[in-house]
Structure 1
């Protein structure tokens, strides 16, 4: 029997999550198989079940992990006084558009998540609600209800524009989509 150092199982699980996340972001959940994930991770298919019950369990964990990281960025921004406008500009940048593998899981996977089981959608919904609340906290004008409505509109604009900018094959149109969405989202954030 092979003995592993303490923490090996956690490191292996983290590695599988990272590989799966990049593959899901780049190719979509449905197009990625467990064999491809485990091969890229340098592990056997059988090792998968030591860490996850099923592909759906992996999908849910990837979403929770990636959205938790994004949530932490929003918390850090709020605690450090970073304006929502900065977040909008970074999110709707050509760099983010061109980095689907490491970018926002919402923009990369939202259409597929809508077709997943309730448990996965519940996890996704909880994290999205948390992110929206953090964005609303960065908006300084209006009642809490008005700030929440603006945050939802801003987030929806950001996600939709990023998806659209990635989907079109006309680079100039893609740039216009990003620039115009930045303007619209910034105007909402500033109460215009």
Structure 2
């Protein structure tokens, strides 16, 4: 049975959404195509109608997830607004729900081992993040460097807060990062 183009587009988006959630929850290496397709409510055979390989799926799912995250984040207007964005990012809820959260914090080590095309797309996405964050605090070279430092601080703090065993140490990692971000924004 042949599908209409709009049905194919809907199915492709379901696969991308399912892959994004699965990859962020379990990691790319631990996520088989069969599980992704099951999550999408489609058969395994339908995968290659939409993607040439798992690497293609990873690149596209990562790109879509990063763009959705960027689009859903408000534009910061000043240091206070940027600090509020960071507090939201470093919340306990975000820490406990990686499948619904930041693809950078969930997948960074796997992105580093991805093909060059995926890493280039990731670099462009991070550049868009840095531009967005820096635009709210001046947009100049100094603001861009601070925004890059804040991005790295936030992603690393979220990774640490997810990796530790106790809620207390997780909270300590996140609040320490927010305090450091606040000091950086004042300087």
| Structure 2 residue 154 is matched with structure 1 residue 158 | yes
2:171 — aligned with what?
175
Q: How does 1:1-192 map to 2 (within 5 A)?
A: 2-4=1-3, 7-74=6-73, 76-78=74-76, 83-140=81-138, 144-189=140-185, 191-192=186-187
SS of match in other structure, 2:100: coil
Offset from partner CA, 1:5-42 (integer Å, 9 cap, x none)? 55111110111111111110000001001111112222
8 Å contact kept, 2:75–2:133? no
8 Å contact kept, 1:88–1:186? no
1:186 deviates by 2.1
> How far apart are the structure 1 equivalents of 2:5 and 2:101?
31
SS of match in other structure, 1:83: helix
1:73 deviates by 2.7
Offset from partner CA, 1:152-187 (integer Å, 9 cap, x none)? 110100000000000000211111111111111122
How many residues get paired? 186
Gaps of 5+ in 2: none
1:44 deviates by 1.5
Gaps of 5+ in 1: none
1:78 deviates by 4.2
> How far apart are the structure 2 equivalents of 1:60 and 1:107?
16
> How far apart are the structure 2 equivalents of 1:175 and 1:5?
49
> How far apart are the structure 2 equivalents of 1:49 and 1:85?
43
TM-score for both structures, normalised by structure 1: 0.91
1:139 deviates by 1.3
Instruction: Single out whichever of 143-152 and 97-106 deviates more from structure 2.
Output: 143-152
Instruction: Single out whichever of 35-44 and 113-122 deviates more from structure 2.
Output: 35-44
